[in-house]
Amino acid sequence: SQTIHQWPATLVQPVGSPLSLECTVEGTSNPNLYWYRQAAGRGLQLLFYSVGIGQISSEVPQNLSASRPQDRQFILSSKKLLLSDSGFYLCAWGSNQPQHFGDGTRLSIL
């Protein structure tokens, strides 16, 4: 069966520090991969999606970037975090609908 792992579960970082969140999927090949951000009490905003290794599409301009170095690995990064980057970050995979989500990373910026 397919599983998705996302870590860390929580992260507290100072403003201006770098960020790296990792997501891996097991049990499927060539999935579409997605990074979302969820503000407190709100819906999900799609940040990036990827249809293959090295293929990244950005949905909104922001301080973040994404990479897909391997078929089932999706990384969310930032060189310098801003206060506005705080939130709950969710990784998801899908080949056909629906999407399957990881347990998320709660990112707090101090």
| Site residues, another protein (CB under 8 A) | 6, 32, 34, 36, 41-44, 46, 49, 51, 57, 88, 90, 92, 94-104, 106
Shortest distance, position 98 Cβ to another protein, whole Å? 4
Shortest distance, position 108 Cβ to another protein, whole Å? 13
- Closest to another protein by CB, 3 or 70: 3
- Closest to another protein by CB, 42 or 79: 42
Is it true that the peptide bond before 18 is cis, omega within 30 degrees of 0?
Answer: no
Query: Which of 33, 34, 43, 38 minimizes the C-alpha distance to 85?
Result: 38
- Take residue 89 and report the two structure tokens written for it: 């970050």
Angle CA(93)–CA(97)–CA(101) in degrees, nearest 5?
35
